[in-house]
A and B are shown apart, each in its own frame.
Chain A
Amino acid sequence: MTKKLTKKDINKVYIRNLFGFQWGWNYERMQGLGYAFSVMPALKKLYSDDPEKMKKALKTQLGFFNTTPAMSSLIIGADLALEEEFGMEDEASITGLKTALMGPFAGVGDTLFIAIYRAIVFSIAAYMAQSGQVVGLLIPLICGIGVMLVRYKFIHLGYAQGKKIATEFADKMKILTEAAAILGLTVVGGLIPSVITYQLDLTYEMGEVTFSVQEMLDRILPGLVPLGIVFLCYWLLGKKKVNSTRLIFFLIFLGMILGNLQSILGIIF
């Protein structure tokens, strides 16, 4: 290949990958259409004067693709390097690279950029909002810009490393994911007593004295009721028939009982 991709070309791909990657998401090829859209500036540069190669390239890049959007930047970067070096002489290696990387990268990416990211960033923002502070909303915005910068690094790193990316990057990401999981679990543990605000509204009388059940429980372990409810949900989610929608209905039902506990017990006893 005589034609070279410039930094400007890669940046064009980066912007499209950032914003347009899932516009055309569909059940058949998932991110396939968005992938082709993202790499189009590079395809135009390399094949615009060769209709046959362009047809081949379009067909290759419209193929099935699905991974965590953040990780796709890395794969696209590596793809551009291959594309520039071998072009459509060897389209099988490009498809090979894409399909080989999307699975493992989705595993790491969904954990790191979706589960742990939300556990930390959006839980802190919501926790601050719960106490009436709007300023907490800045946290996701700042972190979101951070992720965009990471993806900028990803696409250029992928381009610089090409095929090597598969082996060299995986190990580093693994340690990072483990460390992030530790951070995420610490936050998740802290969330339980602070954001589940339910208090048992239950009292019983013994002669002249009225006891509050919640106060007694607090003396054993503060946050015992929230912890119990969370582990109940955790256990239920492990059941095959329970998904998040069913769990919502269960929790609303549980809320109906817990909210009217005093009167329900009054009727029974």
Chain B
Amino acid sequence: MTLSYGIILILCLYTAIGVLDQISVQIGPYTPLFAATATGFLMGDLQTGLMVGATLQLMTLGVASYGGATVPDFLSGAIMGTAYAILSGNGVEYGIGIAVPIGLLLTQLDILGRMTNSFFQHKADKYAETGDYKGVERCNVLGILPWTISRMLPIFIGLVFGEQVVTLINEMIPAWVMTGLSAAGAILPAMGIAILMRYLPIKKYWPYFIIGFVLLAFGAEFFSVLGVALVGLALAGMYVTNQNNSGVLATANGNITCEDEEIEIDD
């Protein structure tokens, strides 16, 4: 199949919305999950989009911009990976295999965009000297340009030359690489989970981690991740209740009483 310029432009526009979502409310369009799904939908292959997006999302669960650090651009990676997967007809693993290096490569453009914005900061300082608050406002609004251009440009170029790139890759890749990519796609979500474990207090709250694991390792037929989330919510609720109770007891008796939690799991 071929990509029409109409779809390429819509995808560029989507990327702009995505990056603005990433730096504001983070409601969804910025994630690889939404981006790949949207690309799949526009190109008439929703399922491939969903699958590529799901794996990339799980892989990047813990990869977030803490304190303004630059992270790989998996928004653009997801769009191009999904588009190439559908264009070539090579399937989900191929899409993931393409999306990852593209995301890593485009990290540089994110840094460039953030650096460019220093220019507007300096301009705003000058406006502030004269009390021109409208000028200051304008500088912040202009900051949108480096953010969006740094994402739209590679997407546009990558998609316009999509078919040529796909044919080139197809001629280069041997079969064992595709088998390997398929296995890599299946284990990559481990990274997202491991990074989250680094950010969460797992040494303190390991019992809850085991409960979650056991529920889905042994009880996959009865449980879904949503079900496990509800169990987790109940456990979190018990923690809050206990905290509040021990707070009340502490003020009443002058010392802190700890209550032991009892957790029963019926299988």
Chain A residues in the interface with B (C-beta under 8 A): 18-30, 32-34, 36-37, 40, 43-44, 51-52, 54-55, 58-59, 62, 66, 69, 106, 110-111, 114-116, 118-120, 122-130, 132-134, 137, 140-141, 144-145, 147-148, 175-176, 178-199, 221-223, 226-227, 229-234, 236-238, 244-245, 247-248, 251-252, 254-260, 263
Contacts and interface: CB of A to CB of B under 8 A. Distances in A.
A137 B28 contact: yes
Given A24-B140, A123-B225, A191-B193, A118 B186 contact: no
B72 A186 contact: no
Interface in B116-161: 117-118, 120-121, 124-125, 127-131, 133, 136-137, 139-144, 147
Nearest to B187: A198
Interface residues of B, number: 111
A54 B131 contact: yes
A110 B66 contact: yes
B25 to A, nearest CB: 6
15 contacts: A26-B118, A55-B129, A66-B67, A124-B225, A126-B61, A127-B58, A130-B54, A133-B50, A134-B50, A148-B25, A186-B229, A189-B209, A223-B217, A247-B194, A260-B179
Contacts of B231: 186
A188 B212 contact: yes
A184 B232 contact: yes
Nearest to B226: A124
Interface stretch (B6-14, B79-87, B200-208, B248-256): B200-208
Nearest to B72: A245
A230 B194 contact: yes
B183 A140 contact: no
B33 interface: yes
A186 B212 contact: yes
B57 to A, nearest CB: 4
Interface in B193-240: 193-202, 205-206, 208-218, 220, 223-226, 228-229, 231-233, 235-237, 239-240
B154 to A, nearest CB: 18
B209 A186 contact: yes
A183 B37 CA distance: 27
Interface of B: 20, 23-28, 31, 33-34, 37, 46-47, 50-51, 53-55, 57-59, 61-64, 66-68, 71-72, 97, 100, 104, 107, 114-115, 117-118, 120-121, 124-125, 127-131, 133, 136-137, 139-144, 147, 176-177, 179-191, 193-202, 205-206, 208-218, 220, 223-226, 228-229, 231-233, 235-237, 239-240, 243
A10 B213 CA distance: 45
A28 B163 CA distance: 41
A23 B133 contact: no
A221 B210 CA distance: 13
B236 A180 contact: yes
Contact of B136 (A23, A37, A118, A237): A37
A251 B188 contact: yes
B64 A118 contact: yes
B225 A230 contact: no
Given A185-B208, A195-B58, 4 more contacts: A110-B66, A119-B200, A179-B237, A190-B225
